[in-house]
Structure 1
Amino acid sequence: RLEYNQPVYGRDQAITLSVKYTVTQQQVLPVFGMVKNDHGYVAVITEGSDAEISALPSSTKSTAYNRVGTTFTLRKKDYYTMGEGNWNAKILTTIAPYTYESSDLQVEYFMLDQDDVSYAGMARRYREYLIETQNFEKKDTSGKLPLFLEVYGAVTKDGNVLGFPTEETVAMTTYKELASILQEAKNLGVDRTVVDYVGWQTGGPNKLVPTKMSFEKKLGGKSEYQNLLKTAEELDATIFPRVEFLKVTGGGNGYSKSKLLAKNVNRTPIQVFKYFLGSGTKALGSTPSFLVSNMLLEEIYGKFDKAYSKLGMNTLSLDALVNMQYTDYRSHAVYDRGYQQSQVSDILSKMSEKTSLLLKQPNAYAMTYADYISSVPSFSSDYLMEDYAVPFVQIVLHGWIPYSSPAISASGDIEEAFLKSIETGSNLLFTITAKETSTLKDSEYNYLYAADYSVWLDTAAEMYKELDGILGDLQSVEIKNHREVEDHVFETLYENGTSILVNYGKKDVTVDGRTVKSMSYDVKKGGN
Structure 2
Amino acid sequence: MRVRLLAGILAVTVAAAVAGIMNSNTGKAEQAALESAVLTVSQGSQVGGTARVAQSGGLQLDFNPETAEVTVTDISTSTKWSSNPVDRANDKVAKGIKKMDLNAQLLVDYVDPLNKPFQLNNYIGSIKEKAFTWKQIQDGIEITFDFPKAGFSIPVQYALKKDAFTATIVSDRIQQRDKYRLVAINLLPFFGAGSTKDDGYLFVPDGSGALIQFNSSNSVYKSYNERVYGGDQAIDVSEQSRVKEDIRLPVFGLKRNDHAFLAVINQGAYQAGISAEGSGKSNQYNAVSSTFTMTEFETNTLMAGSLNEKQVVRGSQSIAGKQSFEVRYYFLNGQQADYSGMAVRYRDYLINDQGVKPVTAKQQATIPLMIDFLGGVQKRTTFLGIPYRSVEVLTSFKDLTAITQQLFESGMNNLAIRYEGWASGGMNGKVLTSLDADSKLGGNKAFRRLIQEMDRRGVAFYPVVDPVKFYKGGNGFYKFFDVTKSISRAPAVKNQYLLSNGTKDKTLSPWYLLKPESVNEALDRFSAAAKDKGLKHAALESIGSLVYSDFRRSMLSKDGTGQLWESGLDTAVSRIGGLSFDHPNAYTFIRAESLTDVPLASSGFDVEEESVPFYSIALSGLIPAFGEPINLVSDSKPYMLKLIETGTYPAYRFIARSGSLLAGSQFDSLYSGDFQAWFSDVKKQYNEINKALLPIAGQPIMHHEKLGEGVYRTTFANGKAVLVNYTNEPIKKDQQVIPPGGYVIQVGGGTP
TM-score (norm 2): 0.68
Q: 1:515 pairs with 724, 727, 737, which one?
A: 737
Give 1:8's aligned residue.
Answer: 228
Alpha-carbon distance between aligned partners in 2 of 1:284 and 1:101, rounded to the nearest angstrom: 37
Q: Is structure 2 residue 612 aligned with structure 1 residue 418?
A: no
Q: Is the 8 A contact 2:524 2:572 kept in 1?
A: no
Q: Report SS of the residue matched to 1:483.
A: strand
Match of 1:34 in 2: 254
**Does the CA contact (< 8 Å) of 1:250 and 1:290 recur in 2?**
no
Query: Which residue, out of 499, 512, 532, partners 1:277?
Result: 499
CA 1:428/1:26 → structure 2, altered by over 3 Å: closer, same or farther?
same
The answer for the alignment partner of 1:350 in structure 2 is 571
Structure 2 Cα separation of the partners of residues 212 and 165 of structure 1? 29
Q: Give the match for residue 455 of structure 1.
A: 677
Whether the aligned pair in 2 keeps the contact of 1:192 and 1:235 (CA below 8 Å) is no
Letter in 1 for 2:611: A
Structure 1 residue 450 displacement after superposition:
1.6
Equivalent position to 2:559, from 338, 349, 365: 338
Q: Mark the CA change 1:455 to 1:84 in structure 2 (over 3 Å): closer, same or farther.
A: farther
Q: Distance in 2 between matches of 1:14 and 1:527?
A: 47
**Alpha-carbon distance in structure 1 between the residues aligned to 2:583 and 2:564:** 18
1:76 aligned residue (280, 284, 296): 296
- RMSD over aligned CA atoms reads 1.9
The Cα of 1:371 is off from its aligned counterpart by 0.6
User: Which of 284, 304, 308 matches 2:526?
Assistant: 304
Corresponding residue number in structure 1 for 2:50: none
Q: 1:112 is matched by which residue type in structure 2?
A: L
For residues 447-500 of structure 1, give each alpha carbon's deviation from its aligned partner in whole angstroms, at most 9, with x where no partner exists: 322211112222122222222222123223110100110001011111111111
Contact 1:370–1:401 (Cα < 8 Å) also in 2: yes
* Aligned counterparts of 1:317 and 1:87: Cα–Cα separation in 2: 48
Alignment partner, residue 496 of structure 1: 718
| Cα 1:102–1:465 shift into 2, 3 Å | same
Cα distance in 1 between the residues matched to 2:660 and 2:715: 44
CA–CA distance in 2 between the matches of 1:324 and 1:527? 38
Q: Distance in 1 between matches of 2:243 and 2:517?
A: 30
Instruction: State the secondary structure of the residue aligned to 1:136.
Output: coil
Which residue does 1:45 correspond to in 2? 265
Residue 595 of structure 2: aligned partner: 373
Residue 526 of structure 1 and its aligned partner are, at CA, apart by 4.2
The equivalent residue for 2:474 is: 252
- Kept in 1, the 8 Å contact 2:433–2:525? The answer is yes
Aligned-partner Cα distance in 1 for 2:421–2:500: 29
Deviations 1:185-227 (A, max 9, x none): 1222213111111111111233222224301111112332244
1:206 equivalent in alignment to 2:428:
yes
Structure 2 residue corresponding to 1:61, chosen from 281, 306, 310: 281
**Distance in 1 (alpha carbons) for counterparts of 2:694 and 2:311:** 56
After TM superposition, give the deviation of residue 243 of structure 1 in Å: 0.7
Over residues 397-451 of structure 1, what are the superposed CA-to-partner deviations in whole Å (9 max), with x where a residue is unaligned?
Answer: 1111111111111100000110010011000010000112222223222232221
Per-residue CA shift, 1:164-197, capped at 9, x if unaligned? 2211111110011011111111222213111111
Partner Cα separation in structure 1 for residue 593 and residue 669 of structure 2: 28
Q: Which one-letter code corresponds to 2:564 in the other structure?
A: Q
In structure 2, distance between residues paired with 1:314 and 1:209: 20
Alignment check: 8 A CA contact 1:182 1:235 kept: no
Aligned to 2:405: 183
Structure 1 stretches of 5 or more lacking a match?
A: none
User: 1: distance between equivalents of 2:526 and 2:458?
Assistant: 28
Write out per-residue CA displacement over residues 481-524 of structure 1, whole angstroms, 9 at most, x where no aligned residue: 00110001011111111111111112111111111111111111
* Cα deviation 1:2-56 (Å, max 9, x = unaligned): 4322210111111221111111111000000011221100111123322111222
Contact 1:41 1:112 in 2 (8 A): yes
Q: Secondary structure at the match of 1:316?
A: strand
Shift of 1:64: 3.2
**Corresponding residue for 1:173?**
395
In structure 2, what is the Cα distance between the partners aligned to 1:122 and 1:170?
48
Check the 8 A contact 1:141/1:401 in 2, yes or no. no
User: Given the alignment of the two structures, is residue 392 of structure 1 paired with residue 614 of structure 2, yes or no?
Assistant: yes
Q: Number of matched residues?
A: 526
Contact 1:186 1:235 in 2 (8 A): no
1:398, 1:475 within 8 Å by CA — same for their partners in 2?
A: no
> Contact conserved, 2:376 with 2:393, CA < 8 A, in 1?
yes
Aligned to 2:174: none
Contact 1:357/1:372, CA 8 A, preserved across alignment: yes
Q: Distance in 2 between matches of 1:286 and 1:85?
A: 21
Aligned to 1:139: 359
Alignment equivalent of 1:228, drawn from 450, 458, 478: 450
The 3 A distance-change label for structure 1 pair 309 and 421 is: same
TM-score normalised by length of structure 1: 0.95
1:367: how far off?
1.4
CA contact (8 A) 2:254 2:262 kept: yes
Residue aligning to 1:328: 550
Deviation, structure 1 residue 87:
6.9
Partner of 1:122: 342
CA contact (8 A) 2:321 2:559 kept: no
Q: Secondary structure at the match of 1:190?
A: coil
Secondary structure of the corresponding residue to residue 404 of structure 2: helix
Please report how far the alpha carbon of residue 83 of structure 1 lies from its aligned counterpart in structure 2 after TM superposition: 4.2
Conserved? CA contact 2:528–2:575, under 8 Å: no
**Structure 2: gaps spanning 5 or more residues:** 1-220
Letter of the 1:504 counterpart: Y
Q: Secondary structure at the match of 1:510?
A: strand
Question: What residue identity is the alignment partner of 2:662?
Answer: L
The verdict on how the C-alpha distance between 1:512 and 1:434 changes in structure 2, with shifts beyond 3 A counting, is same
* One-letter code aligned to 1:80: N
CA distance in 2: counterparts of 1:512 and 1:132, whole angstroms? 36
Tell me the alpha carbon deviations over residues 135-188 of structure 1, each in whole angstroms, 9 at most, x when there is no partner: 110112332311111111111122222222211111110011011111111222
Identity percentage of aligned residues = 30
- C-alpha distance in structure 2 between counterparts of 1:418 and 1:122, whole Å: 25
Quick one: which amino acid aligns to residue 340 of structure 1? Answer: T
* Shift in CA distance, 229/303, structure 1 to aligned 2, threshold 3 Å: closer
Deviation string 1:374-409 (CA, Å, 9 cap, x unpaired) is 111112211123232211111111111111111111
Q: Is residue 236–residue 494 contact of structure 2 (8 Å, CA) maintained in 1?
A: no
Q: 1:446 aligns with which of 668, 682, 690?
A: 668
C-alpha spacing 1:83/1:434, structure 2 compared with 1 (3 Å): farther
**Cα displacement string for residues 282-341 of structure 1 (whole angstroms, at most 9, x for unaligned residues):** 11232111110112233333322333334331211011011101100123x111111111
Partner amino acid for 1:482? H
Cα offset, 1:77, TM superposition:
1.4
Cα distance change on mapping 1:161 and 1:464 into 2, 3 Å: same
Question: CA contact under 8 A between 1:244 and 1:319: conserved in structure 2?
Answer: yes
Partner of 1:408: 630
